[in-house]
Amino acid sequence: MATRPRRTESEHVRRKQLLDAARKIFSEKGYEGATVSEIAQEAGLGKGTFYFYYPSKTTIAVALRDGLMVTMAAAVEIAMKPDTTFGEKLNTLIATSFKVARQNADLFRLAFIGADETHPEMHSESPEHSALLTTLTRLFGKATETGEMNAMDPEIAARLVLGLLQQAVIEAFVSGHGRGDESERLEQGVRQLLSNALVRQI
């Protein structure tokens, strides 16, 4: 006799349906052009179900942004192999960040253009962003201790590097939409800049 799925599993399915639908509608119509009704219809659910899980359109957009940060942080953690040099880890960080951005350009456009300055909650720091900052701070702290990185405050370095990566990704996949070889040029430029600035030359 089949067991009835637990409510938590059902909630997980519903949330995923709504998030997938929201991503599709936002990608097609932009943040301002999308409506809750369209998202619910795309998910095959009623508006009441939408509002049960997400109080507003902005809430689900923020959830998509946070999911992107989770993906980014997880990819960076996996890529940071312990038996590589700091320079190699730095290159991996940059390559991984651009790879995730290429695969999720629509979500970056949602976060940085679709919800602009009139929606400051889209640009608030999330726990997911803090987790990525912590990962980089730990990386830079260890590299400073081993002498592989030029001496500086690890947390400041992490914040500056994240800011640079974010701006480069915006230029590559939001403003420029990844046209031509611009994203590759930006990736190479970030790699050279950070390597020259952070990796200690022995």
CATH number where 5 lies: 1.10.10.60
Same domain? For 2 and 89 the reply is no
CA-CA-CA-CA torsion for 28, 187, 142, 131, nearest 10 degrees? -10
Same domain? For 21 and 68 the reply is no
Same domain? For 110 and 42 the reply is no
- The tens digit of pLDDT for each residue in 42-71 reads 999 999 999 999 999 999 998 998 888 888
C-alpha closest to that of 146 among 89, 187, 99: 89
Residue 54 is predicted with a pLDDT of 95
Give the end of a domain, one of 17, 35, 55: 55
- Phi, psi angle pair for 149, to nearest 5°: -120, 145
C-alpha closest to that of 69 among 160, 7, 24, 134: 134
Residue 117 DSSP symbol:
T
CA-CA-CA-CA torsion for 55, 73, 182, 155, nearest 10 degrees? 110
Same domain? For 179 and 119 the reply is yes
C-alpha closest to that of 173 among 114, 122, 108: 108
Domain holding 21, by residue range, is 1-55
Global pTM reads 0.80
- The tens digit of pLDDT for each residue in 10-44 reads 888 999 999 999 999 999 998 889 999 999 999 99
